[in-house]
Structure 1
Amino acid sequence: MKNNVTIKDVAKLAGVSISTVSRVINDSKPVTDEVKQRVLDVIKETGYVPNPLARSLVTKKSNLLGVIVPEMSDSFVSEVVNGIECVAKMYGYDILLANTYSEKDQELKSIELLKAKQVEGIVMISWTLDEEHVQLINNSSIPAAYISKTAQKFDVYTVCTNNEDATYNMTKYLIDKGHKEIALIMTSEADTILESERRTGYERALTESNISINPDIIKYGNTDYNSGYKAMMDLLDKNIKPDAVFVTGDEAAIGAINAIFDKGYKVPEDISVAGFNNSKLSKIYRPKLTTVGQPLYDMGAVAMRMVIKIINGDALEEKKFVLPYEIVERESVIERK
């Protein structure tokens, strides 16, 4: 019976009307304590599970939240999603996850799909957020928060760290370790706000230390392993062997390390390598990666909390929430005399 039990069965066994059972389930109108307990006992005995669609029609709530990600296998994304999911569960929400493989058409389709599924809010992680994404979600009137390299271009709720200061401090850390020629491999395109902030921080640290800026050792790529490998190999193929390389993404930094090894050099003895994010990969790869620690779990948790606050009508003091970062020292950077 447990597999086929209906609200009608519960009402019959409890000796009440179907509408009374609905009131108990949805807590929509008061019923006596005795009747409520009798209905709850029958629900427990029969294993009845309310129909979520029918329940949403009564409560006007789907208890669903949408999460859009560019690539679930990416270490940055997976750790952010852990924070998102934990907070959603804490507040009684289920997650609908849309993996877009960084394709804009899929991102737009995912927004439409989540709207059709009547999600109450959306957290969107996107490498390149643009006006069309924001406008489509705004037009749907669905509360949303964004984690994206380009979110700062828009008047939206977003979670981030101070990328300029973080890049400055890691570059300064490498300089203080005795590195003079520091290559920069950017895991973002040359015309993004994020790239501008990070490059500014890098150049500021060099300038303050009277180190000339060499555009030949600044490369652009993406967040993945292959992009980091290719960018580092391009430098080494041109006989450019820097003292250190700062890669603004951990996965790409590991790609750079393997390129260095494949060229016959050692890390950190010949070339020091620093990353960005402090993802799980940075802790388990050898040599363990020195990196800028972003609180990835917290980024997801805060973004989801922002969405739930908007849903509940709670006031938010700021649209942009900036989280702290730290320099995490491990094995991939050596002090040069």
Structure 2
Amino acid sequence: MKITINEIAEMAGVSKATVSRVLNQSKPVSDEIRDKVIKVIEETGFNPNSIARSLVIKKTYLIGIVIPEIANPYFSQLVRGIEDEANARDYNIVICNADNEFQKENKSLQVLKNKQVDGIVFLTSHLLEEHNLFFKTNSIPTVIIGTNSKEFNIPFVDIDNFTAAYDVVRYVVSLGHSSIGLIRGPLTYQNVSFFRLEGYKKALQDHGFPFEEHLVKSGDYKFESGYAAMEEFLKQDSKPTVIFAMNDEMAIGAMSCAIDSGLSVPEDISIIGFDDISLASMVRPMLTTVNQPVYEMGLESIKILINMIQCPDKKVENVIFPHKIIERQSMSKIKD
């Protein structure tokens, strides 16, 4: 016959709330009481049902993750950091893959709400007013990774995307390049692509170069769009000497197209990516790129989220991680 938490409390001569405190270490209990409860648990082989346990303590120890594209190495590395830190703190995760579709994002948020998760890590490159309305209405502790959410007052973990893109342009200019092609991601107000595009423009301006529309192609952060963008560049009479892609997948797509077209990288055209996914050092030539500490960003998001869950009235600080340019083989200096 299955033992209940009420029976454990009765056998130990304590309240049900005290048994819950011992099980979940939520509030201090004297050594004498704790030892008494643990002894009864061990003697009866009591194993609390997770659903019943959540009803008692009003916690599920579940953290929901909404991820734009689970196949993208950038997001999978973030999830690895999230899961490792969550498990270390005795939380489990529920992953919802949104396939970069707004409707799926909304459905995923509703699913997590229905599962009564204790908190949500929302991985996204854009925030819309509809997202903000959901979080305001439901008051679920939430941390954003991948975009600046200052307008919506939702804690975020990110890098400075404007400065990172600025630094890329400054770096390629230092190698003698003046015609700098850009493959950007989908563009909405104040999303990742927006800030990186603005950093690109400002760096051009500061170095005395005009912003030229024909040097900017749009992509969707996938290999195929990088390949297609490079095809467009190669059809132009005035071709850039370097391509800056807003993520490594598009950069690798652009590099593949260049090589398939008979060009040599970096001798004929240089390429730099963004993210420093594991594949960046596996391709040949190895890809020069912008590193952001993705795994550590995942870890930090859980630290912030659990603090929000446990201390709801405590002020939460946003975290901006450093970035750095990793020089490999896909960039070269312009010869005089």
TM-score by length of 2: 0.88
Aligned partners of 2:157 and 2:300 also within 8 Å: yes
Question: Residue 253 of structure 1 aligns to which amino acid in structure 2?
Answer: A
Secondary structure, aligned partner of 2:273: strand
Residue 154 of structure 2: aligned partner: 156
The one-letter amino acid paired with 1:315 is K
User: Which residue identity lines up with residue 249 of structure 1 in the other structure?
Assistant: N
> Could you say if the C-alpha distance between residues 115 and 65 of structure 1 is closer, same or farther in structure 2, counting changes exceeding 3 Å?
same
Q: Could you give the per-residue CA deviations for residues 227-251 of structure 1, whole angstroms, max 9, x where no partner exists?
A: 1111111111234432110001011
- Partners of 1:160 and 1:90 in 2: CA distance: 22
- What are the residue-to-residue correspondences of 1:50-89 with 2, within 5 Å? 50-89=48-87
- Assess if the C-alpha contact under 8 Å between 1:11 and 1:17 holds in 2: no
Distance 1:280 1:10, change over 3 A: farther
* Residues 284 and 336 of structure 1: CA distance in aligned 2, closer, same or farther (over 3 Å): same
Check if 1:225 corresponds to 2:223: yes
Distance change (3 Å), C-alpha of 1:127 and 1:194? closer
Alpha carbons 1:11, 1:18 under 8 Å: kept = no
Q: Which residue identity lines up with residue 316 of structure 1 in the other structure? A: K
Asked if 1 retains the 8 angstrom alpha-carbon contact of 2:68 and 2:99, the reply is yes
Please list the CA deviations of residues 216-236 of structure 1 after superposition, one character each: whole Å capped at 9, or x if unmatched.
111121111111111111111
User: Which residue of 3, 9, 20 maps to 1:7?
Assistant: 3
One-letter amino acid matched to 1:125 = L
Aligned pairs (5 A) from 1:164-183? 164-183=162-181
Tell me the equivalent position of 1:146.
Answer: 144
Distance across 2 between alignment mates of 1:88 and 1:252: 31
Structure 1 position 242 matched with structure 2 position 240:
yes
Deviation sequence 1:42-86 (CA, Å, 0-9, x none): 36xx5x532001011111111111111111111111111112112
Q: How many angstroms apart in 1 are the aligned matches of 2:5 and 2:217? A: 67
| Structure 1 equivalent of residue 314 of structure 2 | 315
**How high is the sequence identity, in percent, across the aligned residues?**
34
Supply the distance in 1 between the matched residues of 2:192 and 2:274 (Cα, whole angstroms).
13
Which residue in 2 is equivalent to 1:290?
A: 288
- Cα RMSD over matched residues? 2.7
Aligned partners of 2:188 and 2:237: how far apart in 1? 24
Deviation at 1:124, TM superposition (A): 0.5
* Partner SS, residue 245 of structure 1: strand
Is the Cα–Cα contact under 8 Å of residues 164 and 201 in structure 1 kept in the other structure?
Answer: yes
Cα distance change of structure 1 residues 261 and 18 upon mapping to structure 2, 3 Å threshold: farther
CA contact under 8 A between 1:229 and 1:252: conserved in structure 2?
A: yes
Question: Contact 1:241–1:271 (CA<8 Å) still a contact in 2?
Answer: no
Would you say the 8 A contact 1:189–1:221 is kept in 2?
Answer: no
Identify if the C-alpha distance between structure 1 residues 282 and 153 changes in structure 2 by more than 3 Å, giving closer, same or farther: farther
Q: How many pairs are equivalent?
A: 328
Tell me the alpha carbon deviations over residues 149-170 of structure 1, each in whole angstroms, 9 at most, x when there is no partner. Answer: 4635422211111111111111
Contact 1:8–1:18 at 8 Å: present in 2 too?
A: no
Asked if the contact 2:286/2:329 (under 8 Å) is kept, the reply is: yes
1: distance between equivalents of 2:102 and 2:93? 21
For residues 98 and 150 of structure 2, the distance between their equivalents in structure 1, rounded to whole angstroms, comes to 21
Q: Which residue matches 2:214?
A: 216
What residue identity is the alignment partner of 1:290?
A: T
CA distance in 2, matches of 1:123, 1:284: 30
2:187 to 181, 186, 189: 189
Match of 2:298 in 1: 300
Stretches of structure 2 that go unaligned for 5 or more consecutive residues are: none
Which residue matches 1:129?
127
Q: 1:292 to 1:26 in 2, by over 3 A?
A: closer
Query: CA separation of 1:62/1:33 partners in 2, compared to 1, >3 Å: closer, same or farther?
Result: closer
Moved over 4 A (4+): 8-12, 14-24, 26-31, 190-193
How far apart are 1:19 and its partner, in Å? Answer: 6.7
Shift of 1:297: 1.2
- The residue type paired with residue 315 of structure 2 is L
Structure 1 gaps, min length 5: none
- How far, CA to CA, are the matches of 2:121 and 2:232 in structure 1? 36
Q: Secondary structure at the match of 2:183?
A: strand
Match of 1:41 in 2: 42
3-state SS in 1 of match to 2:47: coil
**Could you tell me the TM-score, scaled by structure 1's length?**
0.88
